[in-house]
Every structure is written in C-alpha cells, then in structure tokens.
Structure 1
Amino acid sequence: MASDALASFADLFSLRGQVVLMTGGYGHLGRATVRALAAQGATVLVLGRHRDGFSEAFGEQPSDVHFIACDVADTASVQQAFTRSTADYGLPAVLINNAVYSRGNRPDQLTDEEFAFGLDGSMGTTYRCIREILPYFRQRGSGKIINVASMYGVVAPDFTAYAATPQFTNPPHYGAAKAGVIQLTRYFASFLGPENIQVNCVTPGAFPSATVQQHPEFVRELEQRIPLGRIGRPEDLAGAFVFLSSRAADFVTGHNLVVDGGWTIR
C-alpha cells in the first residue's frame, strides 16, 4: 500500500497521455510553458495564426509539440481548430487561454474602437474559447481550463514607473479586461464544477519581453517595485501551468495563482 502511494505521488505532476491546447503558445511567455508541459509528457497543441512564429519558437521542437492554425478573434476559426485537434490527437484534457491582442496605450485618448478591440483581445477571446471547448470536455467527462490574467487585473499601475518610458504605459482596457478574466474564471468554476470541469487562472507580474528589456531604466523601475528584486523570467511562470494542468491540482478550481515576485502584496 505504501509503495502504491509513493508511486502515485511520483506521478503527481505527470501529463503523460494528456492533450493540452494552448493559445498564444509561441510568444515570450508561452514558449517556456509549452516546453514545460511537453517535458511532463503532454501532447501540446499550439493554436496560433502564424506557422512561421511557431517554427521560429520551436524549430527543434519535441515530437509532441504541434501547430494548429487558429485565429482566436474568430469563432469559426476556433471551432475549426478544436475540431481538427480532436480529430488528429484526441479529446483535449486542458485548455490554456494565453493569446492576447490590443491596440492603443494612451489612457485618456483611446478611441471607442481601440477600447473595444482591447477588451475583446483579452476577455472576449477567453470567453470564446471557453464556450467552444465545452462540448469536448463534456464528451470527455472532465477538463481543466487555465486562463491568463495580469497583475494589472488585480492592482492599478504605478504610473511613476512609466515616467521615463511612456511608450510602455499599461492602458486601461488591458487591466479592465484582465480583471474580467479573473471574474470569468470564478464564474465558470462555479458553473462547471458539477461537470468535473475545473477553471483556474494564472496572473503574471512583470515579465517584460526582450525588446522591452533593451530599456534598462524601465527594467530598474520594475525591479525596485518587486520584493524579490528582479523581473520575471519565462521559466518562473511555467510551473504554475504544469501544476494546474496536472493531477496535483484536481481539487483546485476558481483560483487565481499570482506569479509576480510579490508585486501585488504592497
């Protein structure tokens, strides 16, 4: 009995035999998460618009990482991607909603079109993908949905951090949409719990891209606001997705896992 329990614990984070769908999987943060999921044995299907972007990110990809064409802004495209992925690789076990798009960042000068576009790029896409994955999870009898929010869905920006680099100012529609993603997570965790479908959220802190890191004065502004004293690295985030995708999180739902080096505790 003890040896059985130990064997069970040894496989607690294993994703062998699991099909994981991930939108936004070849971006700055997505690629590390994809590699971490694959390292645990998952078959990872990266849903995106650009095969070239996928190939650039995973040129030497493991055999269990695959590209599926998908435009998360378009319902028909999402439906087609889920149909194809199931036909080719079987019913999914996990959906990670990581894709985002936005336009405009001047807080008091966004047009109506920019504001609506940004809301759809974070919150609309999340809802769209949740809605369209449910028939597959219901057929499977279980599923895990992991949404991606932001620290700016939890706290307001400290605008002094952007004084020297206003081009990086975080816009209002982004934070509003990410706050909405956190609430969508709670809503659907409650709604889908009786169907054995878990819904959780990961909230990253400051994980600036390589392009942004070319501005050391801005990076210093970020670092001095983080209790751990440094910006996030993509690999810092990957473990959160492995945990929430795995059997280790089978009794976790409606949770917002904040990975921010402590930014939001102050």
Structure 2
Amino acid sequence: MTEVFLEEIFNISDKVVVLTGAAGRVGSHFSQTLANAGANLILIDKDKKILKLKKELEIKFKVKICAIVGDITKREDVKKITKIIQKEFGHVDVLINNAHYVPRNHPKRDAPLEEFPLELWNLAIKSNLNGLFLMCQEIGKIMIKQKKGIIVNISSIYGITGPDQRIYGKSKLNSPSFYSATKGAMVNLTKYLASSWKDYNVRVNTLTLGGVYDSKLHTNKEFVKNYSNKTMIGRMANTDDFDGALLFLTSDASKYMTGSNLIIDGGWTSW
C-alpha cells in the first residue's frame, strides 16, 4: 500500500466542512486536525474565541476559514449560517455536529433524576438536541439539493451505556441524566437520517468518544484512576486519539458506511 494511496483514500483537501462547537476543547482540536488535512472550514460557536482560532489556523495551514459566532438553537441564526456558507463556498461537503451543553457551575447540575430541575433539563434538550435538529435540517436541505454530503454526529459512551456512578467517588464530578438522554438520542437520529436521506447520497454516522482527559477539570486523581481502570487501554483519551476516526468518517475511506456508530473509547464499552 503506497503513501499516495493512503493520502488519496483519506483525502479531505479542499472539502467544505461545517463544524459546530468549534471553540471548545474537542472542537478546537478537531478544527486544527481538519485544517491540517487541507479542509476549508466553517467554524460555529457562541464563544468569540473562534475568531482568534480562525486567524491562527489560516496563518498556520493556509486554508479558507469562515468563523461564525451564532446560537444554533435559534432558527434565525442557523438560517444566517446557511446563507453565509452558500455565499462564501457555494456548497457543503461535511457537517460535524459537535456542539453540546454541559453546565459546569449550576447548583443542581449533579442532582439525581428525582430532584433534577425541569428548567435545566429543558435547557440541555434545547442546546443538545434542538441545535442538532436545526443544523441537520438546514444543512441537510443543501446536501439533498446537491445530492451528496456527509454528516458526522459526535456522541459519547454515555449515549450507548449507563454511567458507572462508582467511578466518581468524592470528585464532585458526575454525568447528569440529560447528557445520557441527549447523546443517546443523537445515536438514533443518526440512523433515522441515514435511512431518510439514502437516496440523496447523504451518509450519516455517529462518532462516539470516550472520556477526554482535561488537566483543569480532572484534578481528582481518584476519578482519573477509576476511569482509566474501566478502559482496556488503561487511560483516559487525549484529543488526538480521535484524529484518525474523524478523517475516516469525513473522507471517502468510509464511503460504504452509513447509519453506523464508530466507538473510540479505549475499550470501555467492550468488557
């Protein structure tokens, strides 16, 4: 197998890729990975940090990047996003739905389900599912019209398995109920869209991630040890552990794959 063949099969050079949640920890790394592979990017986030990220990536990788500060839970913002995309690029090759909401400082964030506030539940559903729905709906219209496209939905192991509450101990970390609910819904929406848009050459897959280590967030050594022991590889993920899977799903290397869930979790779900 030659180097040229490998470059061609995983090639996303000059593809137009839309990425939501682009300013976050995983999203900003995905942005760099995609730009490094030669993709032209539309970076979307509510955080204005994406404006700085855009400049950095353009200088480093010499690709075309459009950064849009917007709220994907609002239809008017998503409509604005699609208009900008069509004006700047004329088409879309890939949509990566990476945005999600996890409140870090809400006093009821870690409350058990029987005490969990409805207003926080509704906020999470709005952020994690409504935004996903609107992006798929509006970008999907473009892909249907052009009769091709790839959608990658970024989910979590807690979308396919229940959280092991024992690993959290006294770490003050937890996995709130809405997280499992919304990530699980994403996995099944993937299958629905893959089935619905099969005749338009639109492939839809889920990329399910294991827990990603964050030195600022994961300061409790007991939690990190407990989590690591639950994986076969023996550690939490680093952001670059997903690079190969991301390039696989966004390129022709996965051309016979749709409606599937690619799980990169260090073996967590395979015990």
Q: Tell me if the contact between 1:68 and 1:85 (Cα under 8 Å) persists in the aligned partners.
A: no
Q: In the alignment, which of 30, 46, 60 is matched to residue 27 of structure 2?
A: 30
The equivalent of 1:67 in structure 2 is 67
List 4+ stretches of structure 1 deviating above 3 A.
6-10, 55-59
Q: In the alignment, which of 30, 37, 40 is matched to residue 37 of structure 2?
A: 40
Paired residues in the alignment total: 261
Structure 1 residue 54 and structure 2 residue 54: aligned?
no
The equivalent of 2:106 in structure 1 is none
Deviation at 1:105, TM superposition (A): 2.6
Structure 1 residue 214 and structure 2 residue 219: aligned?
yes
Structure 1 residue 154 and structure 2 residue 160: aligned?
yes
Distance, in Å, in 1 between the alignment partners of 2:226 and 2:138 is 40
Q: Tell me if the contact between 2:17 and 2:95 (Cα under 8 Å) persists in the aligned partners.
A: yes
* Cα distance change, pair 264–50 in 1 and its aligned pair in 2 (3 A): same
Deviation at 1:223, TM superposition (A): 0.8
TM-score w.r.t. length of structure 1: 0.92
Deviation at 1:192, TM superposition (A): 0.5
Distance, in Å, in 1 between the alignment partners of 2:57 and 2:35 is 10
User: What is the DSSP-based 3-state SS (H/G/I as helix, E as strand, rest coil) of the residue aligned with 2:182?
Assistant: helix
Distance, in Å, in 1 between the alignment partners of 2:222 and 2:269 is 21
Q: Pairwise mapping of residues 1-266 of structure 1 onto structure 2 (< 5 A)?
A: 10-51=7-48, 53-55=49-51, 57=53, 60-62=56-58, 63-64=62-63, 65-103=65-103, 104-108=109-113, 109-165=115-171, 167-266=172-271
CA deviations 1:96-139 (Å, max 9, x no partner) are 00001144231232111111221222222211110111221123
TM-score w.r.t. length of structure 2: 0.90
User: What is the DSSP-based 3-state SS (H/G/I as helix, E as strand, rest coil) of the residue aligned with 1:173?
Assistant: helix
What is the percent sequence identity of the aligned residues?
27
Q: Tell me if the contact between 1:102 and 1:114 (Cα under 8 Å) persists in the aligned partners.
A: no
Q: Tell me if the contact between 1:36 and 1:239 (Cα under 8 Å) persists in the aligned partners.
A: no
User: What is the DSSP-based 3-state SS (H/G/I as helix, E as strand, rest coil) of the residue aligned with 2:25?
Assistant: coil
Deviation at 1:254, TM superposition (A): 0.4
Distance, in Å, in 1 between the alignment partners of 2:222 and 2:51 is 32
Deviates more, 1:16-25 or 1:83-92: 83-92
Deviates more, 1:58-67 or 1:86-95: 58-67
Q: How well do the aligned residues superpose, as a CA RMSD in angstroms?
A: 1.9
User: What is the DSSP-based 3-state SS (H/G/I as helix, E as strand, rest coil) of the residue aligned with 2:253?
Assistant: helix
Distance, in Å, in 1 between the alignment partners of 2:227 and 2:132 is 27
Q: Tell me if the contact between 1:19 and 1:90 (Cα under 8 Å) persists in the aligned partners.
A: no
Residue identity matched to 1:117: L
